[in-house]
Amino acid sequence: MRIVLIGPPGAGKGTQARVLAGLLAVPAVSSGDLFRVEVRQGTELGRLVRRHTDTGELVPDELTTTVVTRRLGQPDAADGFLLDGFPRTVRQAELLAESLAGDGTALDAVIALGLPDDEIVRRLTGRRMCPACGTTVHLVFSPPRVANRCDGCGGGLVRRADDGEETVLRRLAVHSAQTVPLLRWYADRQLLCHVDGSGTVPEVSERMSAALAAVRR
């Protein structure tokens, strides 16, 4: 299946994408993760995108789409993928649709994960991630077993550069202005289903699986 996961920052897209991609045996492809690798490695692309990611602004559409479609061209994504955080604008959605059509394929479903703003700010400001393996924890809701250490690989946990309160508020504003219009675009194409992102990780996964089962019928 070819699936897109849309949602405000902090709605749990990354966590849910990993769970669902495992169940569907397709790769989870996160545009944010692709950018963070470039930033960490100090590449030219990394330096370019950092100007946008550090302030919570979107990376330009053409550049983002090139990075993501290049990843989708790898063999493990040939039979399906779960996109997390891409597309985020109508223009990116158009470019993705063109690229898939060029390969004779199309999306099967778009899941919109929803969460109220105050809950998002609470989740994001307590979030910590492991740069080594990508695991995400929350200091209050899912604390690591050992303080500041990743349960998965033992690496040191860090706060994402863009998880400070001011940048979180900017990212939410960008989501409302640029990504919310995308929901209508996908609804018009009969691809969109809404899933409530509140509750525990298993509760949300269960809702997402049920939504996809309905699409497959």
Structure tokens at 136: 């995400």
- Indicate if 216 belongs to the active site: no
User: Annotated catalytic, 13?
Assistant: yes
The active-site residue, picked from 18, 36, 160, 207, is: 160
**Exposed e or buried b per residue across 98-117, where buried means at least 16 C-beta atoms within 10 angstroms of its C-beta:** ebeeeeeeebebbbbbebee
- Judge whether 149 counts as a catalytic residue: no
Cα separations (Å) of 55 from 162, 169, 217? 7, 10, 42
Least spacing, CB of residue 213 vs ligand AMP, in Å: 26
* Binding residues vs ligand AMP (CB under 6 A): 9, 31-32, 35, 52-53, 56-59, 64, 85-88, 92, 162, 171
- Which of 57, 117 has the CB closer to ligand AMP? 57
- What's the closest the beta carbon of residue 216 comes to ligand AMP, in angstroms? 26
Respond yes or no: is residue 127 known to be catalytic.
Answer: yes
Residue whose beta carbon is closest to ligand AMP: 32
Out of 2, 71, 171, 207, which one is annotated catalytic?
171
201-216 vs 13-24: helix axis angle to the nearest 10? 50
Give the residue from 105, 109, 22 showing the smallest Cα distance to 69: 105
Residue 22 CB, shortest distance to ligand AMP, in Å, is: 19
* Whole-number Cα distances in Å, 141 to 128, 164, 200: 11, 18, 9
Given the residues 13, 36, 128, 207, the one annotated as active site: 13
Give yes or no: 184 in active site. Answer: no
Which residues are designated catalytic? 13, 88, 127, 160, 171
